[in-house]
Structure 1
Amino acid sequence: MPNPLDSQIDALQRATRDLLAVAMRSVDEVTDLSMPQMRMLFALHDHGTVPSGTLAHVLEVSGSSVTRLADRLCAGGYVQRTAVPENRSLVLLSLTEAGREAVAAVVRRRDDEFRQALSHLSPELREQLAEGLTALHGHLSEASLSRAVVA
């Protein structure tokens, strides 16, 4: 007898591929940035000005990866580095206006594609989808926090 969870996981795997395609298209069509660079911009958008070490923790990457990404994003005018005079080993990273504009452009592009896709679903199905995705996001976020605390 087939396990219903298997078909649900298959549906999530397909949705993941579809959502990744939307994410990649939105970045490719409106910026000249890579997905890792865009991920850093979104993290800075969500967390504001943060030390590079904190950003490494948020992104779950090494400090050297953050440094390399920040180097490219600073050179492109998307991110600003600020030294902290009281602590010379601390470097703060923040979005520039160009960084904020890049995030906004990608979000607008995704919104357009999601609106188009959702217009084909009934209002009831859209509501169920939103509720299910919100619950799934909560559980995935908790799992991510648990991994970060253990690390």
Structure 2
Amino acid sequence: MKQKFLDEMGRLIPQIHRALARKGSGVLTKGTITVPQMVLLEFVNEKHMCTVTDIAKNMGITKSAITGLTDRLIRSNLITRTRGIKDRRIVLISLTSKGKTAILRLLQERDNTIRKAFEGLTDKERGLYLELLRKMYGNLVKTNEV
């Protein structure tokens, strides 16, 4: 693989990631929510209710780090933390109505940003891009980079 390719990819991927993160962060609360908090909100939105362990596995961080993230989101009234009925050691996380509204706004803005990024590309080009991303992610999973 040529160094020029590696250098350009090394510049472009973080630039695109930052552009998407900045856009989403501004939509939610004018930058008071971090990217990890947004990832957590999106995961909880998908699952409706999940454990701290589920979130930690999904995000690849410790349960104690999740506790810190959830504490801030609880103070912002975006999520709730409850104990399991059968096993009180289990901590369940779910979105509040404010959290649901916030994540829906974030997802709409993310979709709009992605739409803008892909303007001018054909359906075939967009499909190829998606196929390549899936392959790249698969390569990272195989090598335990994810």
Match of 1:100 in 2: 100
Match of 2:79 in 1: 79
Asked if 2 retains the 8 angstrom alpha-carbon contact of 1:51 and 1:93, the reply is yes
Asked if 1 retains the 8 angstrom alpha-carbon contact of 2:28 and 2:103, the reply is no
SS at 1:87's partner residue?
coil
Correspondence 1:60-75 to 2 at 5 A: 60-75=60-75
Unmatched segments (≥5 aa) in structure 1: none
Q: Normalised by the size of structure 1, how large is the TM-score?
A: 0.78
Cα-to-partner distance string for 1:42-94 (whole Å, 9 max, x where unaligned): 22123331221232222222222111111111121111111113222211111
CA drift of 1:21 comes to: 1.8
Asked if 2 retains the 8 angstrom alpha-carbon contact of 1:52 and 1:66, the reply is yes
How many pairs were matched up? 143
Change (3 A) 1:8 1:69: same
Correspondence 1:23-62 to 2 at 5 A: 23-32=20-29, 33-62=33-62
Change (3 A) 1:87 1:60: same
Q: Normalised by the size of structure 2, how large is the TM-score?
A: 0.80
Change (3 A) 1:46 1:138: farther
Identity of aligned residues (%): 24
Unmatched segments (≥5 aa) in structure 2: none
SS at 2:61's partner residue?
coil
CA distance in 2, matches of 1:10, 1:110: 27
Change (3 A) 1:99 1:9: farther
Change (3 A) 1:57 1:10: same
TM-align CA RMSD: 2.4
Match of 1:13 in 2: 10
Asked if 2 retains the 8 angstrom alpha-carbon contact of 1:27 and 1:34, the reply is no
CA distance in 1, matches of 2:127, 2:8: 18
